[in-house]
């Protein structure tokens, strides 16, 4: 009964009991007192903004008093309990496949939510799901973007990224769908993601799998293009990655994914090499010695890899420190999303100092901090500092994913944009060339990023030469 009462109160607060009749009567009376010339001017105005400007110029102090009296007994603030209520009601309608009804309720939840909160991000995400089932794919994509802007929880991202890819496929934007599937590591081996490509392109699905493939697949409209990502000699087998790639997950996780989805044990060279490798973790997951910066080695108790250093520490202690650091990075990212750039930078610099004391220089968290710092400085318009941090992040991407990887191409594209915006012409042209070379391995010339790079290059090359002053 309490929820029913809440629903009635919120619904009426939105529209049903607003003092519309009283206000209309007051406005009609004011209208009748206006000179005919002004009535004609307002009536023939061609836009709402023009009407508003005309009317606002005739407001009197007594009108403001009347409006205040009229609205004094009505709730105009956001109700903090409303977003959860409307979302739960929307979820009930969604489960009953009443997607239109669910959309309306999620919209009401959005109207009561504050920006940059989990409440509003969840309402946008849930509404995107309802819109997807209604076939409103373009609007669904917009709600997905809105959910991310307002801080949609990382733990729920895979499901929403899958929805984004499915929307893009439904709209025939297969190239973008393919980019969306490489862009999120946590989604890359989702069963529906894999079937997305093989179902639409059965010939491509005939290629055998390798965790270190020699091809890359690009999409344009309804065509798929298989491109060599490395030199393939005559008679060599053409291999494609079904999802689990050696640069994105370890051998145990890859084997589990391939067994559960494709029912085979992978014996590609990458898997064979990793199976016979020592237990040392890759550099992007390694801890380092606080004293000499050498890599820590061992299982439960880690010892410094340098013979001249006797430093040792328990793995549990370092894992606990890493978890604490990740929480602090999360705080900085929230500050960044909410536009509190100076605070975000301060928090990230503190995280950077902490990371340097126990993580390897190529650790994935170190790279994430550098990338966030680059984003924060770019938002402030400090392109030089942004480029400095992005270059550090890029080195870590290269260590983990390789110099010719899709990830490397996207990072080079970002760096080219930063150099371009900062008017660093030689650096921008050099980075554009590198980015084009890498992205061309994975995409055709129709790729949006490649076309954007070409536009930037053309713009820079068309600039008049910078005059050189007289020598002294």
CB atoms under 10 Å from CB of 182, counted, come to: 18
Identify the CATH homologous superfamily for domain 173-277: SET domain (2.170.270.10)
Mean residue pLDDT of the chain comes to 79
Look at 70 and 192; give whichever has higher pLDDT. Answer: 70
Q: Assess whether pLDDT exceeds 60 at residue 279.
A: no
- The β-bridge partners of 240 are 209
CA distance 93 to 401: 44
Look at 121 and 59; give whichever has higher pLDDT. Answer: 121
- Short-list 372, 422, 413, 419, CA closest to 392: 372
For residues 81 and 88, the answer to whether their CB atoms sit within 8 Å is no
Q: Assess whether pLDDT exceeds 80 at residue 8.
A: no
CA distance 349 to 343: 10
pLDDT in tens, 186-233: 333 333 333 344 445 566 667 788 888 888 776 665 567 777 878 888
- Short-list 93, 54, 74, CA closest to 10: 74
User: What is the rounded average pLDDT of the residues 268-281?
Assistant: 73
User: What is the rounded average pLDDT of the residues 235-261?
Assistant: 79
Where do the domains of the chain lie?
A: 19-71, 173-277, 329-343+361-461
Beta strand 239-240 with 223-228: parallel, antiparallel or unpaired?
unpaired
CA distance 97 to 134: 10
316, two tokens? 């549990």
19: confidence class by pLDDT, cuts 50, 70, 90: low
State residue 36 phi and psi, 5-degree precision.
Answer: -60, -40
- The β-bridge partners of 215 are 228
Identify the CATH homologous superfamily for domain 329-343+361-461: Tetratricopeptide repeat domain (1.25.40.10)
Q: What is the pLDDT of residue 352?
A: 94
294, two tokens? 């050498």
DSSP 47-107: SHHHHHHHHHTT--HHHHHHHHHHHTTS--SPPTTHHHHHHHHHHHHHHTT-HHHHHHHHH
Q: What angle do CA 405, 411, 412 make, to 5 degrees?
A: 90
pTM: 0.53
Q: 142: helix, coil or strand?
A: helix
pLDDT in tens, 110-120: 988 888 888 89
CA distance 239 to 472: 61
User: What is the rounded average pLDDT of the residues 122-139?
Assistant: 93
- Short-list 431, 43, 276, 247, CA closest to 267: 276
């Amino acid at each position: 009964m309490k929820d029913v009462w809440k629903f009635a109160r919120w619904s009426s607060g939105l529209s049903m009991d607003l003092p519309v009749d009283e206000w209309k009567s007051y406005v009609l009376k004011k209208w009748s007192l206006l000179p005919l010339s002004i009535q004609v001017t307002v009536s023939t105005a061609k836009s709402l903004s023009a009407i508003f400007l005309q009317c606002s110029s005739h407001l009197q102090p007594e009108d403001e008093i009347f409006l205040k009296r009229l609205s004094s007994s009505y709730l105009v603030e956001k109700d903090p309990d409303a977003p959860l209520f409307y979302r739960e009601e929307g979820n009930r309608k969604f489960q009953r496949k009443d997607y239109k009804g669910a959309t309306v309720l999620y919209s009401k939840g959005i109207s009561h939510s504050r920006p940059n909160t989990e409440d509003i991000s969840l309402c946008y995400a849930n509404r995107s799901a309802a819109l997807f089932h209604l076939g409103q794919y373009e609007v669904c994509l917009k709600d997905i973007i809105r959910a991310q802007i307002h801080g949609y929880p990382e733990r729920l991202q895979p499901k929403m990224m899958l929805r984004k890819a499915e929307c893009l496929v439904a709209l025939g934007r297969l190239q973008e769908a393919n980019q969306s599937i490489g862009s999120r590591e946590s989604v890359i081996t989702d069963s529906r993601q894999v079937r997305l490509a093989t179902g639409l392109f059965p010939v491509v699905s005939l290629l055998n799998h390798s965790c270190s493939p020699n091809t890359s697949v690009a999409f344009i409209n309804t065509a798929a293009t298989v491109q060599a990502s490395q030199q393939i000699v005559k008679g060599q087998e053409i291999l494609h990655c079904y999802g689990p790639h050696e640069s994105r997950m370890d051998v145990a996780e890859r084997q589990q994914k391939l067994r559960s989805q494709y029912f085979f044990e992978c014996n590609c060279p990458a898997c064979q090499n990793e199976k016979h490798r020592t237990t040392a973790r890759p550099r992007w997951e390694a801890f380092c010695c606080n004293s000499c910066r050498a890599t820590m080695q061992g299982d439960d108790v880690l010892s410094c890899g340098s013979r001249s250093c006797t430093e040792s520490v328990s793995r549990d202690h370092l894992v606990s420190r890493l978890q604490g650091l990740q929480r602090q990075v999360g705080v900085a990212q929230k500050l960044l999303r909410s536009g509190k750039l100076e605070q975000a930078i301060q928090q990230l610099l503190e995280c950077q100092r902490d990371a340097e004391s126990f993580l390897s220089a190529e650790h994935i968290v170190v790279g994430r901090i550098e990338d966030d710092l680059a984003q924060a400085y770019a938002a402030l318009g400090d392109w030089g500092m942004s480029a400095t941090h992005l270059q550090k992040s890029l080195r870590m991407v290269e260590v983990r994913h390789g110099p010719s990887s899709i990830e490397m191409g996207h990072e080079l594209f970002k760096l080219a944009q930063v150099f371009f915006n900062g008017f660093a012409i030689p650096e921008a042209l050099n980075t554009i060339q590198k980015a084009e070379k890498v992205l061309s391995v994975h995409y055709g010339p129709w790729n949006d990023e490649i076309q954007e790079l070409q536009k930037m290059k053309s713009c820079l090359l068309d600039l008049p030469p910078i005059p050189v002053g007289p020598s002294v």
